[in-house]
Amino acid sequence: MAFFLFLFTHTVSSQTSYAWGLLPAINLNKGFDNKWNLNFTIESRQFVQKGIFNQTANSGYTYELTDFSTVLSKKIGLQSFLGGGYTLRIRDQKTQHRSIQQFTVVSKLNHLRLSHRFTSDQTFFKDDKPEFRVRYRIGSEIPLNGQSADVDEFYLKLSNELLNSWQDQDYDLENRLAAVLGYKFSDTNKLEVGLDYRIDGFIDGFAAHVFWVRVNWYVKI
């Protein structure tokens, strides 16, 4: 954490870019027999402000993109899951296609639920080289009442993700920190609201900071 605070302070002093935006998402989950699970997600990115630190900001709404993602996973161990999927991204009236492979391990420590997710994906563009990414995410879910998040109770989710990407000869490293507050309306319906902070480009000295206000709605069908 101290490293990222130092990195943030250093890059801000270097007059790097920043942006604020909205990141709403709808997650639909369907469980099947034989430990299979299907997840369908619609996620949209919308900017409300962009600028350079210590300079005048440019305010105004800007639509960025929408992702339609489907991931099919299977429970292969006591608390481990293997999955694969596909994302269709619509950006600037163009479509991008992404294949996804992921492995997740979940553990419980008293009232803390801890998850490790390893993901690789490949994004294909019509007029550019494909992009390859490898990601590791660690996340925790902390109930604010009792040993688990029950119906009509709040919980806290914290996560940190490191994302490595390669496109042709270019390499980039991105870090994503998120903290959201969730409320469980029922066993099939919950809502999360929080902040998602991302930084990339700091390896070549042109860091970009993005702050997303995240709103997640989860529904089991």
Q: Which tens digit of pLDDT belongs to each residue from 72-99?
A: 999 998 899 999 999 999 999 899 999 9
- Min mean pLDDT across 21-25, 26-30, 145-149, 163-167 is at 145-149
Residue 153: half-sphere exposure toward Cβ, Cα within 13 Å: 14
pLDDT at residue number 174: 96
Of residues 77, 83, 79, the one with CA closest to residue 39: 83
Each domain of the chain, given as residue ranges in start order, spans 2-180+214-220
Residue 139: half-sphere exposure toward Cβ, Cα within 13 Å: 19
By the 8 A CB rule, do 210 and 19 touch?
Answer: yes
Q: How far is Cα 54 from Cα 15, in angstroms, rounded to an integer?
A: 7
CATH of domain 2-180+214-220: 2.40.160
Question: For 94-122, how does the pLDDT look when each residue is reduced to its tens digit (9 = 90+)?
Answer: 999 999 999 999 998 877 889 999 999 99
Of residues 4, 21, 19, 40, the one with CA closest to residue 214: 21
Structure tokens that stand for 9 in this block: 């302070």
Question: For 51-74, how does the pLDDT look when each residue is reduced to its tens digit (9 = 90+)?
Answer: 887 776 777 899 999 999 999 999
User: Would you give the DSSP letter of residue 125?
Assistant: -
pLDDT at residue number 205: 67
Label residue 15 by pLDDT band (50, 70, 90): low
Residue whose tokens read 């605070």: 5
